[in-house]
Each structure stands twice: as C-alpha cells, then as structure tokens.
Chain A
Amino acid sequence: MADLFLLGVSEIFQIDMLIVILLGVVAGILAGLIPGFTVTMAIVLTLPLTFGMEPIMGVAAMVAVTVGGMSGGLITAALLGIPGTPSAVATTFDGYPMSRKGQPGKALSLGIWASFLSSIISLVVLIAIAPQVANFALQFGPWEMFSLIVAALTIIASVTGESILKGLIAGLFGLLIATVGADPIAGITRFTFDVDVLRAGIPFLVVLIGMFAISRLMNSVERTELVSDIQQKQEDKMKSMKFVLKPKETFMSIIKKPVNLIRSSAIGSIIGAIPGAGGSIANIIAYDQAKKWSKESEKFGTGHDEGVVASEAGNNSTVGGDLIPTIALGIPGSAVTAVLLSALMVHGINPGPLLITNEPNIVGGIFIAFLVASFFMLITQFLGIRLFVRVTEVPTQILFPLIMVLCVTGTFVLNNRITDIYLLFVIGIIGYLFTKYKFALAPIIIGVILGPIAEVNLRRAFMADPDWTLFFSRPISLVFLILAVLSIAFTIWQSRRVKHRKAQG
C-alpha cells in the first residue's frame, strides 16, 4: 500500500503534472457549472487532448476534470436553484433556500467543504477496497469475467434510464456496434459491408463524442430548451448577488457533526461502486437519508446546513466509489470511468484485475491525482467562485459552435481520419434520436467498451472447455449471473409496484 502511494507521489508531484491537474479541475468546475454542459461531455472532450501526454498525466487530467465537475454543479444549484449537472439536483433543495435567506456565501462554503471532505473519505474507501477486490478477482477465469460483464451490463441497464427494456436494448446495441471491425481473437474483419469507413471498426471515442456531446448539443438548440435557457440567463443578471464566503466557520460546523458527512460519503461511495449508478442518484439518496436520520428533519428544505452537506457529500464521494470496479476489475461503472479506461487503452495499458500489480505507478498516480485534485478543487472554488459564476452568462450561440468544433477536432485527432468524422455525424444523429425517446446512453457506451472483452472471455471459456454448463456450475460465475437476473427481476417488480400505486391513486 505504502509503495503505491510513494510511486504515486513521485509521479504526480512534478510541476507540469500539477499544472495539468489544476487546469483539469478548473475545466471540470466550468463544465459542471454551465447548465446543459455535463461532466461527461467535458471528460470526453478532454480525452483527445491527452493522446500526446504520458499515460499517467492523461489519466490525472481526467480524474481532475471529474473531481472538479462534481463540485461545479454546486454553484448554480445554490445560487440560482438550477442544477448545473444532474448530480446537483438535491443541492438545490436546501442550498437555494439558504441563498434566498441571505446566506449564499454560507451555502457555497458548506457545499465546497462537503465536496472536499467527502472526496477524501471516498479516496480512503477506494484505497482500502480496490486492492482487495483486485486480489479476489485474480481467481477469475474467463467464465467469471464473462458473467461479471453480463451482471454489470444488466445492472447498468436497470439503474439508468426510463425502463429496463430500453436499457437492455441500449446495452445490446452497444455490444453490437463493438462487433464491427476486426474480430478480437482471430482478427477477421466483420460486418464492414464493403464500406471502407468501417474496416477499422467503430472507434470508441467516436461513439462517445457522438452519443454524449453531439446529441446533447442538438438537444440544447430545441426551441423549448433555448427559451428556458434565455430565461435562466436573464435571471442570472438580476441575481448578480454579492456574497461573503466563510471557510472557517462552515468548516467547523461540518466537523462538529461528522456523522452526517460520513454517512453521506459512505452512501455516495457505495452507490458510485454500483455500475450505472452515479452522482445523480447518490445525491438524492444521501439527502433523503440525512433527512430521515436527522433530529431536525422538519428544517430540511428550508435552507438547512445538513441538507447541503449531505447532497454535496453524496455526489462527490461517488467518484472514489466509481473508481473501485474500474481499477480493480477493469469494469467501468459509468461513462466517465469508461472514458478513463479508454484513455489507458489508447496508451496500450490493459485494465483488469492485474492493473494494480502490473502498473502500480498508474494506480498510485490515480490515487494521488485524486487527492491533489480535491485540494485544488477546494482552493480554486474558494478563490475563483466569483469568476466562475460569470461563465453561465456565455450564450448558446457562442457555446454551441465552439463545442461542436471541439467535438469534430477531437474525433479527427484520434486517427487523423476524415472518415471518422462522417461516422461521428451518423452516431450523433443516432444518439440524439435515442435520447429523444429516452433510451439511456450509458449502457451503450459501457456495451461498446465491454463488448470485445466479453467476446474474448466467452470464446476463451469455450476454447478451454466446450461445456457451457460451467457458467452455472462455477460458484462465482453463478453468483454474477444470479445478480444479473435479480437486477432485472427487481426492476420489473419495482416498476409494477409504482404503476400499481399510481393506479390506486
């Protein structure tokens, strides 16, 4: 453990590395802050910039963007009652009333401290758990890996989006896209239909940018979106409020009630570790639990300290939790960690249970980068918040073309191929239609990244032993498959119950 840390420190504490992390944190905060611009989008667009970097620096940059992004949503949530990202929805419940009562500075300071402290707690959880999980996973054969991927995908499909059916369809669509191009074992070209563009397969980054960035951008120029955006911005101007941050007092007030902070961070870390569930769910659940356990639960919703702390601690601690399966198993639980893994893969590093053993400097680097990014987030938030608030004033007509150009350039940079941009265009339209009809995008992305791994393991399993019952007779594999079935059954049961209740009124 200590050597992981030392390796990480020696990798991260270099001047260029620290500058990259700082820039990443600022970029993340800005992304979290601008309504309509998500953290995922920011991290997707960061990826092409990291191609020229060392692998550690690239990963550090992306961890920094994530940590910053999770805390960026706080600013608009607390000041304007508009969550900058979905992960900050519950922050508006108490942060906004607090600002309206004339304490915007207190709301922001509380949120910043909660974000910081919960990040640290989730880092401790990550460091404590990830190596154990990885050790355990070393026993996995191809059967277990395949079943694990099946379980991960079904859980993602059931957690995200409107219905499990659509989630599963999205996941399968991702798996199917991933089969285009060279077959992962024999290298035989598949499903190109004599179209040259498809010969090399559909690159992961193109799917990411198309699905997450282009579709979101198209969504932002719909009439209703544009109108609500303009209204928000006019309100912004009215509320160019003055506030005084109170770092010391708010720190003390959080520290005096450690239970709330620790509970919310634990909830966030656990939810983050579940594939598919992330900041947007953790922040609501942490808030809800804090309200249930609090002695002053009637004060929630009126601008109560504990509400702000719980919701911000809930969303920021998912980052650490999310990294557990990513580092220990090579299974990304969210689009953000999927990008992180693909950054490693671009540099020829294979994620999986062996990552900690084979690339201790990368893993140590991720831990330390996380720590440093949390500190930078704390400092830049307290120092720069006044500047950040002004960024929400940038109008859509400037933001839209700029981000679009970044998408196109980012895609081109990957392979220096114009044809990739044609693919981007098509996938962007598909992604837009999918979101329009409420298919979740995360399963598609995770499907694309896990598809080849699933196929390799399935075929290896059959090469080792043609007996297919092994998937059910090997205990760990069976547990994963049962988990998959349970997650489907549970979701169906739950949605039936909701419908039933609605029917009863």
Chain B
Amino acid sequence: MGEIVIGIFLILLSVLIYFNSGDFPQLNETHLDPGSYPKLIAALLFSLSLILIIKQTVTLVKAKEFGFKDGFKNFMLKQWHEYKLVIYMLVVLGLYIFLLNILGFIVSTIIFIIAAGLLIGPIKKKNVITISIVSFVMTVGVYFFFENVLYVRFPNGIFF
C-alpha cells in the first residue's frame, strides 16, 4: 500500500519536473539545454514508478487482503500504538525548528532535549534530573564549541 503512495508521489514529482523543464533560456548549446537532462531522469523515474505501482497493485489484488483483518478500527489502533512516538517526535522536532529563530538556540535546544527525552522515557524523578542535566551540558557545550572553534553564529532569539 505504502509503495503505491510513494509511487504516485514520485510520478507527480517527475511530471512536475518534466513540464517545468521546457522554458529555460537557451545558450548556444545546440543539442542539450539545461532542461534536457532533468527531462531524461524524470521520464525514467516516471516509467519505473509506474511499473512499481502496477506490480504492487497486482500483488495487492491477488492477496485480496487490505491489512484490515480484524477491522479498520483495530488496525488503526495498532498502528497508532506502534507509531505514536514517531509522530510525537516529528511534532516536537517541527516545533523545535520553528522556535529556533524565536527563542534562540540555547533556550529552544534545552526545551527540546527535555521534552523529547521525557516523551520517550518514563517520567520519574531520576530520569527528569538526568535529562535536565544532560540537556543543559550538551546545549552549552555545543554552543560554545561551535561559536568559538568553528565561528558559527547561532540564532540568539528574543531573550538575548
């Protein structure tokens, strides 16, 4: 099932690239312009993705089973149980990246490490303390290493 979705996504991507490859300014290249190579790759990707989709659909129809053996609701529950943390982590990571510019590197990183750590691990006193210490040491360490050794300027945010 997932393969088919990926296949469709790739087909859309290759169509998008293919039809945007037509209008690049021509230099005095007679045979290949900036659009030709992407067109070639897009065409290849399109055909292979199509084969993949057809193959997968055939096996799916043959198997006559769509993965919902014990009902759709149960299936979704199981999936949610398995991938719950992945989704949480993506949300936390997304928020972290979004807040990086607003809160600054140090504040947002400390919050991110604590939040992610506590979502994955048990919320026990010992765990909370360890993660807090680790987050502080790590953040400050990374900050000073990159600022002083590699001269990277991190976003400071609104507080500093």
* Interface membership of A387, Cβ < 8 A: no
- Chain A, 145-174, CB within 8 A of any chain B CB: 165-166, 168-169, 172-173
Residues of B within 8 A of A169 (CB): 10, 45, 48-49, 52
- Number of A interface residues, CB 8 Å? 61
Partner of A176, one of B25, B41, B86: B41
Q: How far is the CA of A402 from the CA of B20 in the complex (A)?
A: 40
* Interface membership of B81, Cβ < 8 A: yes
Q: How far is the CA of A396 from the CA of B150 in the complex (A)?
A: 29
Q: How far is the CA of A433 from the CA of B83 in the complex (A)?
A: 12
Q: Are B86 and A218 in contact (CB under 8 A)?
A: yes
Q: Across the two chains, which residue of chain A brings its CB closest to B98? A: A422
Contact with A along B61-98 (1 / 0, CB 8 A): 00000000000000000000111111001100110110
Q: Are A459 and B120 in contact (CB under 8 A)?
A: no
Q: Are B150 and A51 in contact (CB under 8 A)?
A: yes
Q: Are B97 and A400 in contact (CB under 8 A)?
A: no
Residues of A within 8 A of B151 (CB): 52
Chain B at the A interface: SS class? helix
Q: How far is the CA of A430 from the CA of B149 in the complex (A)?
A: 33
* Interface membership of B153, Cβ < 8 A: yes
Q: Across the two chains, which residue of chain B brings its CB closest to A467? A: B31
Q: How far is the CA of A325 from the CA of B137 in the complex (A)?
A: 42
Q: Are A397 and B117 in contact (CB under 8 A)?
A: yes
Q: Are A223 and B10 in contact (CB under 8 A)?
A: no
Contact with B along A419-445 (1 / 0, CB 8 A): 001101100110011101101000000
* Interface membership of A132, Cβ < 8 A: no
Q: How far is the CA of A425 from the CA of B94 in the complex (A)?
A: 7
* Interface membership of B158, Cβ < 8 A: no
Partner of B31, one of A221, A404, A466: A466
Q: How far is the CA of A396 from the CA of B85 in the complex (A)?
A: 12
Residues of A within 8 A of B154 (CB): 412
Q: How far is the CA of A479 from the CA of B84 in the complex (A)?
A: 50
Q: Are B44 and A172 in contact (CB under 8 A)?
A: yes
- Number of B interface residues, CB 8 Å? 69
* Interface membership of A398, Cβ < 8 A: yes
Residues of A within 8 A of B117 (CB): 397-398, 400-401
* Interface membership of A224, Cβ < 8 A: yes
Q: Across the two chains, which residue of chain B brings its CB closest to A218? A: B86
Partner of A173, one of B31, B45, B112: B45
Residues of B within 8 A of A395 (CB): 121
* Interface membership of B60, Cβ < 8 A: no
- Tell me the minimal C-beta distance from A449 to chain B in angstroms: 15
Q: Are B48 and A224 in contact (CB under 8 A)?
A: no
Q: Are A405 and B84 in contact (CB under 8 A)?
A: no
- Chain B, 4-19, CB within 8 A of any chain A CB: 6, 10, 13-14, 17
Q: How far is the CA of A320 from the CA of B131 in the complex (A)?
A: 40
Q: Are B55 and A396 in contact (CB under 8 A)?
A: no
Partner of B20, one of A175, A191, A401, A424: A191
Partner of B85, one of A223, A406, A409, A421: A223
Q: Are A416 and B153 in contact (CB under 8 A)?
A: yes
Partner of B146, one of A397, A409, A418, A432: A409
Closest 10 CB pairs of A and B: A397-B121, A401-B116, A397-B120, A401-B113, A183-B34, A221-B85, A52-B150, A172-B45, A179-B38, A462-B31
What would be 18 A-B contacts, judged by CB atoms less than 8 Å apart?
A51-B150, A166-B52, A168-B48, A173-B45, A176-B38, A186-B27, A186-B29, A188-B34, A190-B34, A397-B120, A398-B131, A401-B113, A404-B116, A405-B112, A405-B113, A422-B97, A425-B94, A459-B37
Other than A176-B14, A183-B24, A401-B116, give 11 A-B pairs with Cβ distance below 8 A.
Answer: A183-B34, A185-B29, A186-B25, A222-B85, A223-B85, A397-B117, A398-B130, A404-B116, A428-B93, A439-B6, A462-B32
Write the residues of chain A forming the contact surface with B, with a CB cutoff of 8 angstroms. Answer: 49, 51-52, 165-166, 168-169, 172-173, 175-176, 179, 183, 185-186, 188, 190-191, 193, 217-218, 221-224, 226, 395-398, 400-402, 404-406, 408-409, 412-413, 416, 418, 421-422, 424-425, 428-429, 432-434, 436-437, 439, 454-455, 458-459, 462-463, 466
Write the residues of chain B forming the contact surface with A, with a CB cutoff of 8 angstroms. Answer: 2-3, 6, 10, 13-14, 17, 20-21, 24-25, 27, 29-32, 34-38, 41-42, 44-45, 48-49, 51-52, 55, 81-86, 89-90, 93-94, 96-97, 100-101, 109, 112-114, 116-118, 120-121, 127, 130-131, 134-135, 138-139, 142, 146, 149-155
